[in-house]
Structure 1
């Protein structure tokens, strides 16, 4: 089944339309679309999150790829929506097939506020994605200096290897030799930081060669979400971001027809209070 009117209504900032739809058919709150996502996955405001959760939506519902609503808002770096969902005590160890846990998604977004919020609620620091990468690996890959420092301060293990046998330092070397990340990692490794300059990192070819040898002959990509393994269109599709305006219009017309035949039209004041018209039913781009 495709998206219901509720899936589309919650993509706006107001909860007026979604509330009206739920009054007519509360069962829509549990309907999944073709990706296995309930309306909660598509909420774009705290008002709609709270509305659906108060009406019985499951905060831990995952789609066919294992992604919960929390993954999505963490990936987008939406700290206000993350804070809203965390009030409902979601599981922080849920791992989807592509990105990993919500913490992985938060690191990808680059939002230190999101990462801090997850860590404060007990997100597992050393949880691995499908390829064995921890949040530290992701920070090393993307050059998230402040996030890496935060993870280390909170006790994240920087020595863990992924399924290709690579630790975060090896990942950082591949990421255009990220000296800042390498400095942070080396500083953490040193028993006596003052005894050696943290900037003297990869002067010897043997050092880089040694780290490169962590690859066990498996040429598979370290991350399932990066440019080497997934295009932007596929990433956006996974996160529910529409690529085609025509698809949106078709979906909207289809759901408008469903609304008109299933529910009576709302009172004029309800329409005017919403103020979003067609936009309230459009997917975010």
Structure 2
């Protein structure tokens, strides 16, 4: 190898820094690499002859590779140099099967570049036994069956990268069996074509006769092509795939197309599948987890699909999974309150869903169930537990959810069974550490409010008169907004001082005194914040916009909206929502839902 050949080739195109060593005697000369990227056949031949004469290795020069094991044919494919590729294939036909470090042949790279004309030219240039060129449809099958490290054939790459349908059909005609080969994701070219709405490609595959190979593909755990059509959400494509009778329809998890359509909420697909299912097999078929399609829809919260399935088979509402759960159980277990609400309105529900919703920490579902008069909140399960027993014995991921569930159950009259086989969880004894941070925080806020309102009391809006007979008097003394400002500011200062004094008593360390002080200081501080907000609104209206009525109206509207919004979380701290009084329950209904909504963080969707 020449010294110049050890220099690093350019990193554009198919190459990048090498991740594994290549034998030095097989490392491509940098001059030949450069000419391959340029695509000038004459210059390439001159460099090839020059290197061959220098090293006397004419038979193996074209087999040299770059650091990423790319041959000259790989590089020509990357840059789309057709004439150069034809020359290389004629001189060294074996290069068409060579793989680089990713397992790609030159044909893989060309398909990834959406250059199937390159694939056809290279395959047409591959000489037959007689030395004559042959059409791509007559090329040897092994070329299209070569897979890379992702399990993709050239046909996979062509479909993944959305090549033109007419060009893809040429590859299918060359080797129809490849259309059913799954890659490592289990996706066959037929699956990809169905997902991409490639009608011409699917039709070409359907006309091929490869039934004898289907068992091989099932053994490879290929995803059903009909699932690809469902994922693509195209009814016409779904109909076309279903017409291919030889296509298997259940995946490695035992899910039918109806399971799959229900799991992604594809209502039109469910309707199409139900219309085609004359034997009623699919709607009663369980997957490997023991779920029927209606259970899957309930688990996902797709009410429209649940309704559709119940319309064609009303008995599905009673069907159980292999775990003994009906659709109401499943919806309650996975927190799908919309399905729970629908089923309860359609069917007289039991109480077991209440146990499940409590156990899996779904306060919104618990709230729906406790408001339904048909649900007995004190009915026990097979362990002798009521839902209230579960609420106080199971540690949920968030204590706030646990408290919301406990509140919902307590307000509807739920009580422990008394004969539960599971001992209740012992409550943690309170200590000063439980209150210390809260008391210090409230003390800091109340001190800041007192300081601000005290300063505002001596910095009156508009200032003071400097001339007789009203010298020293506030300029806006007789304005209604000024009087409102003074009253609100005074209330805010004294209530915040009162809260601060109460919290100072809480520092004595007595637990009972600390708890009492906390419960009294909180409403005083809330009143101070509310009064300070009103005072601010009055002061701004008085100083800045007293002569602009439209701006005054806007400020008042904004202030009222904010004050109402401030009132909601403030009142939620004091409304006794755990009371069984019906009036208080109605008052706290929407505030409770607001707390549930606020407590729900983003959830990661888990696939089946």
Q: Which moved more, 1:75-84 or 1:166-175?
A: 75-84
Q: 1:22 and 1:113, CA in 2 relative to 1: closer, same or farther beyond 3 A?
A: same
Is this contact kept in 2: 1:14–1:47, CA < 8 A?
A: no
Partner of 1:131: 289
Matched, 1:171 2:343: no
Partner of 1:41: 191
Where 2:317 maps in the other structure, the secondary structure is coil
Within-5 A mapping of 1:98-137? 98=253, 100-122=255-277, 124-137=282-295
Is this contact kept in 2: 1:145–1:181, CA < 8 A?
A: yes
CA distance in 2, matches of 1:79, 1:13: 22
Deviations 1:112-144 (A, max 9, x none): 110000000006211111111011111111111
Deviations 1:163-210 (A, max 9, x none): 3332211111123251x312433444459xxxxxx9827754346968
TM-score normalised by length of structure 1? 0.60
Is this contact kept in 1: 2:224–2:247, CA < 8 A?
A: no
Q: Which structure is higher in RCO with an 8 Å CA cutoff and minimum separation 6?
A: 1
Is this contact kept in 1: 2:229–2:241, CA < 8 A?
A: no
Is this contact kept in 1: 2:188–2:225, CA < 8 A?
A: no
CA distance in 2, matches of 1:208, 1:118: 40
Partner of 1:88: 244
Partner of 1:10: 159
Quick one: which of 49, 59, 79 aligns to 2:235? 79
CA distance in 2, matches of 1:112, 1:100: 17
Deviations 1:215-251 (A, max 9, x none): xxxxxxxxxxx96865xxxx8xxxxxxxxxxxxxxxx
Within-5 A mapping of 1:216-235? none
CA distance in 2, matches of 1:100, 1:208: 35
Q: 1:84 and 1:110, CA in 2 relative to 1: closer, same or farther beyond 3 A?
A: same
Partner of 1:184: 342
Within-5 A mapping of 1:223-262? none
Within-5 A mapping of 1:253-272? none
CA distance in 1, matches of 2:247, 2:173: 29
Q: 1:13 and 1:81, CA in 2 relative to 1: closer, same or farther beyond 3 A?
A: farther
Within-5 A mapping of 1:190-209? 190=348, 200=372, 204-206=376-378
Question: Any unmatched runs of 5+ in structure 1?
Answer: 192-197, 214-225, 236-285
Count the aligned residue pairs. Answer: 209
Is this contact kept in 1: 2:256–2:287, CA < 8 A?
A: yes
Partner of 2:319: 160
Is this contact kept in 1: 2:182–2:220, CA < 8 A?
A: no
Partner of 1:243: none
Partner of 2:206: 53
**Which entry has the higher C-alpha Rg, 1 or 2?**
2
Q: 1:90 and 1:155, CA in 2 relative to 1: closer, same or farther beyond 3 A?
A: farther
Where 2:322 maps in the other structure, the secondary structure is coil
Deviations 1:45-94 (A, max 9, x none): 222211211123569764644631112322443433212212334678x4
Partner of 2:170: 20
Q: Which moved more, 1:139-148 or 1:160-169?
A: 160-169
CA distance in 2, matches of 1:17, 1:208: 66
Where 1:95 maps in the other structure, the secondary structure is coil
Question: Any unmatched runs of 5+ in structure 2?
Answer: 1-146, 350-368, 386-602
Partner of 1:240: none
CA distance in 1, matches of 2:173, 2:247: 29
Quick one: which of 278, 301, 312 aligns to 1:143? 301
TM-score normalised by length of structure 2? 0.30
Is this contact kept in 2: 1:110–1:147, CA < 8 A?
A: yes
Partner of 1:245: none
Deviations 1:248-280 (A, max 9, x none): xxxxxxxxxxxxxxxxxxxxxxxxxxxxxxxxx
